[in-house]
Structure formats: structure tokens, C-alpha cells
Amino acid sequence: MNEKDMQKAKKLPDNALATVKRIIDYMGNYRYRLIIVVFFVLLSAMTSILGTYFLKPLINDYILPFVGQENPDLSLLGSGLAKMGIIYLIGALSTYIYNRLMVDITAGTLHRIRTDLFAHMQTLPIKYFDTHTHGELMSRYTNDIDALRNMLSQSYVQIINSGVTIIGVFIAMLLLSPALTLLVIVMLVLMLSAVKAIGKGSRKYSMAQQASLGDMNGYIEEMMEGQKVIKVFNYEDKAKEAFDKKNETLFKQSQAAQTYTSVLRPIMGNLGYALYAITAMAGAFISVTRGLDIGSLASFLQYTRTFSQPITIISEQFNSIIIAIAGAERVFQVIDENSEVDEGSVTLVHAKEGMDNQIIESNDKNDPQYWKQVSDKGEVTYTKVQGDIQFVDVVFAYDEEKTVLRNINLFAKPGQKVAFVGSTGAGKTTITNLINRFYDIKEGTIFYDGIDIKNIKKDDLRSTLSLVLQDTHLFSGTIMENIRYGNLAASNEEVIAAAKLANADSFIRHLPKGYDTFITGDGENLSQGQRQLLAIARAAVADPHVLILDEATSSIDTRTESLIGKGMEKLMEGRTTLVIAHRLSTIQNSDVILVIEGGEIIERGDHDKLIEEQGKYYQLYTGMFELS
């Protein structure tokens, strides 16, 4: 979490009422259970109040009449105690019922929120993930959701219970003794002043604590992912030093937050004891002078003992609610992010040629693929997918301040191998990102088989492409499952054939469980070269029309590279292939080589032509100028 995000986390919720309403909407599926919960919360609070009030008749009617009698009949007392016991038993059962119901309601509500959060994240554009750290996004699922869980499972019912208790106790005290109630009101003002002063500091440091916790969790995640780098560069001490600073910040904020929270109960408790003592003395005086009965005084004194507790609970839960609402806002901010826009109408279908060259759609995946276009008049035209890529006057910028690509004009005919070379940051990878429509261009047009890619539905466009990146990502699962990510409908035989094509079959079969070997931690039990071979196999099983290799063999040693050379040639055969490579020996046989510098194509031609021109490519190839 960066400094900007920490500042956001430290402040109070921007729109608490709207956020609370949204949380209630998520709880809508449980509205009837919530009504039952409220009923039993009210019943629990009322039985507690009623049980205390029952002390009055118990003392006045069942105890005092027997004072001084030698052989009192205690059957009535037993009956009275039994009634009181039933009252408290009903309260205990009510508490159990509403707590049990809230477990289900909380779990179900958070399940819906997490589901919506994750589902919506899948619709966000790549730009969103490029501009937000993984730790920041993970904190939505951990810290923020956990804070929301505490509010739903505890704060919701405790606020209602405490509120009802305060009102009920106040009414009961008024009925018992208006004069003593006036004294309680004076003490209540002192209690609320203490709560306000302590609560202000508690909220401040609790919010800061939550922000620091997210910051530290993000840092730990980052350090865990970079352990190899840390160790190879002896960064351990520096990493610990940075962690100690973050941990110290969290410690101080947690200490301050806990200090405010922990002193609230003792202060309120002592004020409650003071109220009890003052009320007892005042009650004794009123009892002697104005005839207040002993039962009423006993009940009133018991109410004073319980009167401060709900106020303390409400104050403590208020902090939790503020933190939870702020966390919920952060979750809803992600859910409210604009999804990736797809205005395309051209779809991908399987079809075959019938009589008179008529195109007939089919459900057979072995039939050729066509782009299906429907005009405004309902006329349908089909264009066979061939992998013809063309950039016309393309201009692109990640932001308005810096243009990355300028007037890019290029074409890749079906089956051609087009290579991009140039310094790091020249714009090579950006070009491939534009073909996938991970980003949309600022000016110009990109054509795919003569169709503006903006008119092609993104899922259909991407299903005809395969991408192999330099940084291979593998998912938790078997090797078979990881290769099948390229084509979820692929059979085991097709997966194995793809692995053989990428020359990955040999090392896979030497693993303990072969294709059923389970991969964890992004394939840490495999070498970088092996991981890239799996990525190439994943691309192969997709059977794409356009293959994009972004430094795909950079982590494979020369011997392994030569072994998969024939396999790669088979994979590229008949497919339009776009290759980004620093290792120039891998692109000598390309049909076209484009040299890119500063976002512009400065040279183009095949290997022999560019060597003959003795320009930038010649310098790169002969080592007169190194790629950086």
C-alpha cells in the first residue's frame, strides 16, 4: 500500500450512509432471518431488564414478609425464583438463537461480497492491475473483509441490544424512582463526555492501525515473492530494517489504539461504581425520608450497575463500525470500477463451405473459423480467420503526457514470422498488447483480417491469439491442468501432443507423477526453462491463428533452445507469428524484422537486407551496440 492509499485508509468513510445501505442490500437475502434476529435481540434485552425489575416483587412480596418469622413458608419464594429463572432462561435461549443466526447471515453476506468482488475483478482492464499493487488488492480480501465480518457478526446485534437495554433500563428506573433517575442523568453526562474524549483518539489510531496493517501485509507479500533476489544480493538486513520500521509504526498505532480501547472499560467501570455508590447513599436517604421501598431500591441499584455497560459497548463497537464501513468502501470502490468496455459486434464461429460457396455455420470445432459480421440491415457476411495483422498510423500513449508509439505502420501476412527488436522501453511489448486489446489505441487503426479490431468482440479476438511471456505464470494445479489453460476443451491426448510439440513431454514424464504432478507457488519446483516450456505448450494447445512470443525463450539455455527449435517451427508453421527477442540469433529466419526505437519503426526488412544496410540492426547484431 503506497502513501496515497494509506492516507485514504486513515480518513473516515466518505459516504457512510450509502455504504451501510449497500451492506444492507447484500444482506437482503436474509431479510426474514434478520427480522427473527431483531426479535430475539429485543427479547434477550427485555428479559434482562425484566429479570432485574423482578427483584422488586421478589424482595417486597417473597422475602421481606418472612423477615422475623421462625418457620416461614418458602414455597412462594421458590415459585418467585422459578419465575425469575424462566425469564433468564428465555433470555439465554434468545441470545443463543440470534448469535447462531448471525453466524449464517454474516458468512452468507461476506460470501456474496467476495464473489462479486472477485467476479468483477475478472472484468477489469489490464490497466487497472498495472496501476494497483497486488498487496493493495489483497488487502480488500483480507483486512477490509475481516473488518466487515467483525461488524456484521458482533456490532450489529450488540448495538441493537445495547440501545434497547439503555432505553429499557432508563424507563424502568423512571418507574422505580424519578428522583434517583435524575441523579443518573447527571452521571450519564459525565460518562458520555469520557466516551467522546476517549472515542476520538481510539477512532484516529484504529484507522491508522488498519492502514499500517495493510501496508505491512503488502510488504511481507512482496518480500516473500522476492526471496531469491533478497538472498542473492544480501538484502536481508535491509529488508529487516524496512520491515522493522513498518512493524514499529504498526506497533505504535496498535498500542495507542489498544490503550484508548482498554482504558475505556475501566474508566466506565469506575464511573459505574461511583454511580452505584452515590445512588445507594441517595436511595437510602430517600428510602428513609420518602418511603422508597427496599425492593425498588434494590432493583434500581442493579440497573445502575448495568446502565454503563451498554454505553461502553456502543462506544467500542462504534470504532469497529467506522473501520468496517471504511473497509467496505474500499471493497465497493473495486466493485464500482468500470469494467473493460467491449463494443465489438463481430463474433467468431466455426463454419464450412457448402454448395455455391455458401458458408454454413457448424458446431464442429474441427471446422475452420470465420469472423461473422451482421450489418445494420441484418445482412450476414463471413470472413475466414487467417491471421492477417495490419497497423495503420497507430499512435498510443499510456497517459496523456507521454506518447509511447508514434505513427506505427506494419503488416504481418498470414503465416509470416515478424520480429521486433530494439532497446528496452522502445515499445515492442506495447505493440503486442494492442493486438490483444489490453489497451486501446489513441489514433490510427489496427486491422485483423481486414476488420477493425475495435469491432471484434474481445473474447473472440483473444481466442484466436496465443501469448507466451518472458515471465511465465503457472497456476496451482497439475501440469495437465496448466497446459489445458490454453484450451479448456482440450483432451488429454491434445495436451500431451502440445507438450511434445514444445519439447516439454520428456521432462514432464520424468517428474514423480508426470502430467499429474501438482504445481504450487507459481511452479517453484520447476526451473525457469521448464516453466517456459509449459507456457509454450499452453500456447500450442490453443491452436491459435496468431502466435505472440515475448522473449519466450529468454530463460531457456542454448542447448534446450536448439532442442525445441524444430518444435517451435512446427508450432509457428501456418500461423502469423510475432516475436520479441533480445537474442538475435533466434529471429534470423524471420520474414520481416522491425527495429523500433523511441516508439517508432526505424528499420524494416529481413536479416540479410538489414545487415547489408549496416544500420541499427547491423550494430546490434555485430555487437557494436548492445540492447539495454
How far is CA 560 from each of CA 507, 515, 523, 528, 530, rounded to the nearest angstrom?
11, 20, 19, 12, 10
Per-residue pLDDT, 4: 44
Neighbours of 461 (CB within 10 A): 24
Query: Can you tell me the mean pLDDT for 132-145?
Result: 82
Closest by CA position to 115, among listed 335, 273, 354, 417: 335
% of the chain at pLDDT higher than 90: 29
Query: Can you tell me the mean pLDDT for 520-537?
Result: 81
Choice among 63-77, 367-381, 522-536 with the minimum mean pLDDT: 63-77
How far is CA 333 from each of CA 105, 134, 312, 338, 481, rounded to the nearest angstrom?
23, 16, 32, 10, 33
355 — phi, psi (to 5°)?
Answer: -70, 150
Q: How far apart are the first and last CA of the chain?
A: 30
Confidence grade of residue 508 (pLDDT, cut at 50, 70, 90): very high
Per-residue pLDDT, 460: 93
Mean pLDDT of the residues in the chain: 83
Query: To the nearest 5 percent, what fractions of the chain are helix, strand and coil?
Result: 65, 15, 25
Asked whether residue 93 carries a pLDDT value surpassing 60, the answer given is yes
Query: Can you tell me the mean pLDDT for 148-169?
Result: 86
Alpha-carbon distance of 613 to 608, in angstroms, equals 9
Confidence grade of residue 373 (pLDDT, cut at 50, 70, 90): very high
Q: Where are the domains of the chain?
A: 3-335, 347-384, 389-622
Given a contact cutoff of 8 angstroms between Cβ atoms, the answer to whether 391 and 408 are in contact is yes
Given a contact cutoff of 8 angstroms between Cβ atoms, the answer to whether 203 and 84 are in contact is no
Lookup: cell for 559 = 542447448
Confidence grade of residue 6 (pLDDT, cut at 50, 70, 90): very low
Give this prediction's pTM: 0.75
373: region left, alpha or beta (phi > 0 left; psi from -120 to 50 alpha): beta
Lookup: cell for 297 = 431500591
Buried b (16+ CB within 10 A) or exposed e, 100-138: ebbeebbebbbeebeeebeeebeeebeebeeebeebbee
With residue 125 as reference, give the H or E element that holds it: none
SS3 of 406-439: the string is EEEEEEECCCCEEEEECCCCCCHHHHHHHHCCCC
Residues in the chain: 628
Which of 245-249, 396-400, 494-498 has the highest mean predicted lDDT (pLDDT)? 494-498
Between 67 and 236, whose confidence is greater? 236
How far is CA 490 from each of CA 486, 513, 567, 611, rounded to the nearest angstrom?
8, 20, 19, 43
Choice among 69-78, 172-181, 573-582 with the minimum mean pLDDT: 69-78
Fold designation for 389-622: Rossmann fold (3.40.50)
Given a contact cutoff of 8 angstroms between Cβ atoms, the answer to whether 117 and 335 are in contact is yes
Asked whether residue 544 carries a pLDDT value surpassing 70, the answer given is yes
Name residues whose C-beta falls within 8 Å of residue 390's C-beta, 6 or more positions apart in sequence: 410, 411, 412, 446, 447
Per-residue pLDDT, 552: 67
Asked whether residue 201 carries a pLDDT value surpassing 70, the answer given is no
Asked whether residue 167 carries a pLDDT value surpassing 70, the answer given is yes
Per-residue pLDDT, 2: 43
How far is CA 441 from each of CA 430, 454, 614, rounded to the nearest angstrom?
10, 10, 32
Lookup: cell for 429 = 511489448
Per-residue pLDDT, 208: 75
Alpha-carbon distance of 139 to 220, in angstroms, equals 12
Alpha-carbon distance of 478 to 493, in angstroms, equals 15
Asked whether residue 64 carries a pLDDT value surpassing 50, the answer given is yes
CATH number of 3-335: 1.20.1560.10
Query: Can you tell me the mean pLDDT for 505-531?
Result: 85
Name residues whose C-beta falls within 8 Å of residue 583's C-beta, 6 or more positions apart in sequence: 553, 554
Tens-place pLDDT, residues 335-350: 999 998 888 999 999 9
Choice among 5-19, 112-126, 352-366, 367-381 with the minimum mean pLDDT: 5-19
SS3 of 173-217: the string is HHHHCHHHHHHHHHHHHHHHHHHHHHHHHHHHHHHHHHHHHHHHH
Tens-place pLDDT, residues 228-276: 677 766 778 888 888 888 888 888 888 877 777 677 667 777 777 787 7
**DSSP type of residue 63:** I
DSSP SS3 for 394: strand
Given a contact cutoff of 8 angstroms between Cβ atoms, the answer to whether 284 and 189 are in contact is no
Strand pairing of 443-448 and 451-452? Answer: antiparallel
Alpha-carbon distance of 343 to 132, in angstroms, equals 25
Name residues whose C-beta falls within 8 Å of residue 474's C-beta, 6 or more positions apart in sequence: 482, 519, 522, 523, 526, 531, 534, 535
Asked whether residue 389 carries a pLDDT value surpassing 80, the answer given is yes
SS3 of 209-246: the string is HHHHHHHHHHHHHHHHHCHHHHHHCCCHHHHHHHHHHH
**DSSP type of residue 64:** G
HSE (CB half, 13 Å, CA atoms) of 122?
6
Asked whether residue 48 carries a pLDDT value surpassing 80, the answer given is yes
Name residues whose C-beta falls within 8 Å of residue 454's C-beta, 6 or more positions apart in sequence: 343, 344, 437, 440
Alpha-carbon distance of 143 to 324, in angstroms, equals 9
Given a contact cutoff of 8 angstroms between Cβ atoms, the answer to whether 538 and 485 are in contact is yes
Query: Can you tell me the mean pLDDT for 211-229?
Result: 74
Between 568 and 98, whose confidence is greater? 98
Alpha-carbon distance of 363 to 385, in angstroms, equals 16
Tens-place pLDDT, residues 454-477: 999 999 999 999 888 877 788 888
Lookup: cell for 605 = 526488412
* Cα 593 from chain centre: 42
Residue given cell 474508566 in the structure block: 267
